[in-house]
Each structure stands twice: as C-alpha cells, then as structure tokens.
Structure 1
Amino acid sequence: MSRLYDVWFADCYQSLLNTPLAHWLQTLPAQIEQWQRNDLHGEFYKWCKLLQKIPQTHPSIIELSDSVRVGKAEDITEYQQKQITGLLKQFMPWRKGPFFIHDIHIDTEWRSDWKWDRVSPHISSLKDRFVLDVGCGSGYHMWRMLGSGAKGVYGIDPTQLFLIQFHAIQQFIKNEHIHFLPLGIEQMQPLNAFDTVFSMGVLYHRRDPINFLSQLKQQLRKGGELVLETLVVEGDEKTVMMAGERYAQMRNVWFLPSIDALKVWLSRLGFVNIKAVDVNTTSLDEQRSTEWMTNNSLKDFLDPDDLSKTIEGAPAPKRAVLVATRN
C-alpha cells in the first residue's frame, strides 16, 4: 500500500517527464528516497494521518490570481467547517499566507499577499513558465505563481511542517502543476532549466551568500529571471552588515548587504539587467502574531522605545526585491 507521500513524489516525477526539467529525474528520486529513510520529523507520520482525515470537498470556486481562496462556506456543512478548522490548526504555526478555505480564514503571521503585490508588477510574465521557489515555506507564493499562469511550479524547502501545510491546501485544490520537495538548494543539481527562480527571505540565512546566489543561477536557463527578496541595510556598494549572535531575535542571520552591494554580488556572478524594484520596511501589520501563529512576532523583536531598531540595537528589518537576468 502506498504511503501518502509516495503519491506526492510520484506525481512530481510524472510532471517532469517531457519537460525541460526531465534531467532532474537523474538525481531527484534517489534524494527523496534518502530523505524518507533518514530525515523524517518525529511528528511527520502523525501529521500525515491528520491530513488523511481532512474531508473531501467540492469547492465551488478556486481563486489563485488575487488571493488563495478555495470554496465557500455553503459548499460544506457547519460540522465539516469545524472539522476542517480543527485539523488545520493541528499544523500550526502557520507563517506564510493568508489562505481562505471554505471561508475559513487561515490568518498567518505574514501577510505574504502584500509581498506578492509588491513583487508581481515588476517581474516577467509567468505565463507558461517553469518556476522554482527556493525556500517556499508553506507554498503561499507558489499558489500565486500558478494563478499567474505558470506551466509548472516547484518549491523546495527542507522544513517538513511546511510540506504538510502545502499538502493541506492541496487537499482542496488538487492541482497537478504544482509540487513541493523537501530539499535545500545545496542538494539541487545544476539544472540550468527554470525560466524563473524566486528566492524570498532566504539569502540572509546563508553563511555563504555568494555561493547561494551562484546556486540560484545554476537553476536558471540562460535568459531566465531571478527574483530575489532579502533583508538589506543602508549604504554604498561596499556596505555589508554581519549580524551578531542574534538579529531581531533570529539566530540564523548572517549577512545583510546594501542594495548597491547586492547588485555588485549579482553582477560578479554574471547576472545582467539588475534592478531593485521595491524597498519596504516591514510593518507591525505585515508580520504579527495571530490565532494561527501564537508565538512571538515582529513587535517582540523590535526596541519598544525605538521601532527603527531591533531589540539588539541593529537597524529594523528592511526588505528589498531585486530582479536580474542570467547572462
């Protein structure tokens, strides 16, 4: 009898056949087999069983272009709505969203729709493109990529709760053109095949940001587009801040470059047409605690007497979006 996740990955392998990504099949199945043998989270099987308890519904609408909205309340019974809510809350904390499932509002920590609204006007059309989302989280932006007309959307993220959250939403949408793989970028062979690669909120978590950018480039075809969103600081092309032991209470933050320094990095790696298309200081409305993410959030990480600084005294989070083309 197939395990639930065997079906997920078999569907992904099938989707790669007869596409520019077919050579990914040289390494991907073995990597997933290795992951299944060695790396399953202690709660993973419990999460899978909970997923299978989600009732099958018949959504009257599936909206992915302006939001991620599936079905209406009247499509299901009041009991089913309570059942679905209870099951989805078993997969907390929900960090990236929001999602609307039969009018159940999964009010996530991040208003990721705001970020998408800032990014999407500045990128090439995703229509009929093969897209990779590196560090995709729960997959919110992947659904929006699909809603923008992408032919195939693939997300990679090693966090297994995010994999479960993605499939909780997929239980209702059931789309064959979107897939989540529990891998890190360092496990990816150089595919040189994606039309667009997104990396949003990952660069500053990498000890070697130049190598990371090079790994992103190796996934793009020539002429493909990189969409990079990351924390930045003010300064010139030589300005790079190395975070201390913590930055906004996060331990795994390393380098925060200025926009100009980031442009130099990308240029040195062979990217062209490099543009900073958005700069935004993260607000307390965009990142906050909710009923679906009850842990501390941004307001707990900033200096209460000076919101322009983190609790450690560093500049408060400012995020930039850069778009570049692989030469």
Structure 2
Amino acid sequence: MTRFNTFYQQIATNRLSHWLTSLPAQLSDWHNNNLHGEYQHWQKTLDALPTTKNGATVDLQSTVKVGELGDFTEGEFKRLENLMKKFKPWRKGPYHIHGLHIDTEWRSDFKWDRLAPHIADLTGKYVLDIGCGSGYHLWRMRGAGAEFVVGVDPTQLFLMQFNAVQHFINDPQVNLLPLGVEQLPELAAFDTVFAMGVLYHRRSPIDFLYQLKAQLVKGGELVLETLIVDGDENTVLVPGERYAKMRNVWFLPSGKAMCAWLERCGFSNVRMVNIDVTALDEQRKTSWIDTESLQDFLDPNDNTKTIEGYPAPKRAIFIANK
C-alpha cells in the first residue's frame, strides 16, 4: 500500500483532492479482499529486481526506454530477464529496460503513432487512461508532456508489470490504480481521457461513455479506440459466445454508429480520425507471452475473418469533447 499512500499525498494538493473521500477505502478493500493468489509471489519478484544505475537516461518520447545495454553485469542482466519473465504474459509494450527488450504481444507504439497526430497537446495536462493494461501508453502520455497521468485497470498482473517498469523509471507523476471505470466517482478533473480497446468489453457501452464523460473537465477531450464493423449509423454487430476467441465482446458498432452514440451522450466535435485493420506484425506471439495471438484467432483459410466467421478485427480512433 506504500505506493498508494504516495499517490494520496500527491492528489491531496492537486485538482484530484476530492477523490480522497472514496479512493482510500476502495483500495483498502481491494488490498484486503481481492488479491490474486500469485500476488505475494509477484511482490517478491518486484522486491528482487536490480536497482537502476545512477544517471540512467529515460526516453518516453520515441519509446519507453530506461538505461542502456551494459549498465548491468552479465549476471545482473540475466537475473533481470529471468525476473521480468515471471510477469508473463506481457501484452502491451514494448519496453526497453537496461538493454532488455520486452517484446510484448502488441506493438502498442503502432497505435500511439496513429493517434498522436490527432490529439490535443498534452503538455501540462491531467490525463486518465481507462483500461490501461500494463501502462505502456501512460509512459508515452508523460513523454508527450502530460503533468499528471493516472491509469486504471483492475487486472493485478498488469499492476505488477507497471510497478516493475516504474521500479526503473521512478516517475511519481505516472500512476496505475487497480480499479475499473465503474468504481470511479464523477471526478470531472481530467483534461484528456483515453479509453482504448475497452468499449467492446462493456455490457452497456452507453453507460460506459457517460462514465468517461464524467471524468473530463468541461471542454476536455475523449480519445476512444475500439473495434468497429462496416455499415451505416444503425449497424452494430453483437457476436455470439466468442469473437476472435474472446468471450467478453459485446458490441461492435460501425464508425457512423459510434459517432452517433457519442453525440447521443452529449459529446461535441465528434470525429473518427483513423481506421486500421489489425495486422499480424502489430499483434503476434512472442517469447514474452506463451499464449495464442492474432494468427490463432483468424480463419486459417481467410484472414479477413475471425475463426468464428465474423469480420476480422478492424479498429478506429474517435475524438470528441465534453
């Protein structure tokens, strides 16, 4: 809980101070009642990580990198690699830690490169990332100039992966909390809210959009990325039990339908700024995941379809204002 205590001290003196009325109790309940069975083992792994060398350079603008190859002895480097692999599967990245390339399943830098030209300048901004995974994009937001970055994701392994990277970068302005969006009060405190790869996992996408809106300051910017299908403003795919082998996929709207949903929820200046078919070089199996990946989710005879026969994953980025 020490890390959270530091977060409490930070927000006590910034625009998120009103969150202190509910957040400590929520995180105390999480710590007392919801810890994963592997949590203590993961914590021991964190505690065993080597210490970053003094003066190590950090690059968050073009990648997520700390230090250089050669900062550690050969034995220290091998220990670092073995310890970081205990946090598999690594989904989002990549990360470069003192010469160690954590080659994650997703090339999340590709997504960042697609959206970065379209978003508002993050310099000096308070930024929230909903469903942030291990926090790769949190670091890129900080590298883009954000003053204070908060990610929320209830998956405890992702928290541990974030803490492992944070161990080396050590930036108190970047934080990850093990919460879901439904646990957030109406903070109305963030200049930009990101929600990428989350909407299709929500049983009620309209409620989700209102939850995102409630976190923004007036005029703040929403950056939403989600799976879409082709069609008009009334087209929405509701898959069966699975979509691309995922059980928790509920609604895949067309781009026009997604824009209509955002407008119905009261967002303004709604626009779709990018459409991209997920490629096999962006999501793929690596030695850092040990599980299936995109190639296994597609029809082996027709990569334009999922293994269930639905249209293959196509993603779009939407930007709107409160």
Instruction: State TM-score, norm by structure 2.
Output: 0.99
Q: Which amino acid aligns with 2:66?
A: V
Q: Distance in 2 between matches of 1:8 and 1:242?
A: 40
In the alignment, what sits opposite 2:288?
292
Q: Distance in 2 between matches of 1:14 and 1:213?
A: 30
Q: Distance in 1 between matches of 2:70 and 2:285?
A: 29
The answer as to 2:58 corresponding to 1:62 is yes
Q: CA deviation at 1:60?
A: 2.4
Q: Which amino acid aligns with 1:50?
A: T
Q: Which amino acid aligns with 1:167?
A: N
The answer as to 2:153 corresponding to 1:157 is yes
Q: Distance in 2 between matches of 1:31 and 1:17?
A: 16
Q: CA deviation at 1:275?
A: 0.9
Matches within 5 A, 1:114-133: 114-133=110-129
Q: Distance in 2 between matches of 1:60 and 1:30?
A: 37
In the alignment, what sits opposite 2:305?
309
Q: Distance in 1 between matches of 2:103 and 2:305?
A: 26
Q: CA deviation at 1:250?
A: 0.3
Identity %: 58
1:84-140 per-position Cα deviation (integer Å, ceiling 9, x unaligned): 000000000000000000110000000000000001110000100000000000000
In the alignment, what sits opposite 1:184?
180
The answer as to 2:68 corresponding to 1:49 is no
Any stretches of 5+ residues in structure 2 without a counterpart? none
Q: CA deviation at 1:183?
A: 0.3
Q: Distance in 2 between matches of 1:69 and 1:272?
A: 36
Q: CA deviation at 1:28?
A: 0.4
CA root-mean-square deviation? 0.7
Q: Distance in 2 between matches of 1:213 and 1:232?
A: 16
In the alignment, what sits opposite 1:226?
222
Matches within 5 A, 1:166-185: 166-185=162-181
In the alignment, what sits opposite 1:3?
none
In the alignment, what sits opposite 1:10?
5
In the alignment, what sits opposite 1:248?
244
Q: Distance in 2 between matches of 1:317 and 1:260?
A: 17
1:19-59 per-position Cα deviation (integer Å, ceiling 9, x unaligned): 11111111100000010111000000110011000011215
Q: Distance in 2 between matches of 1:311 and 1:213?
A: 29
Q: Distance in 1 between matches of 2:13 and 2:317?
A: 33
In the alignment, what sits opposite 1:139?
135
Q: Distance in 1 between matches of 2:125 and 2:19?
A: 17
Q: CA deviation at 1:62?
A: 0.4
In the alignment, what sits opposite 2:266?
270
1:58-77 per-position Cα deviation (integer Å, ceiling 9, x unaligned): 15210000000110012211
Any stretches of 5+ residues in structure 1 without a counterpart? 1-5
In the alignment, what sits opposite 1:19?
14
Q: Distance in 1 between matches of 2:15 and 2:47?
A: 33
Q: CA deviation at 1:230?
A: 0.2
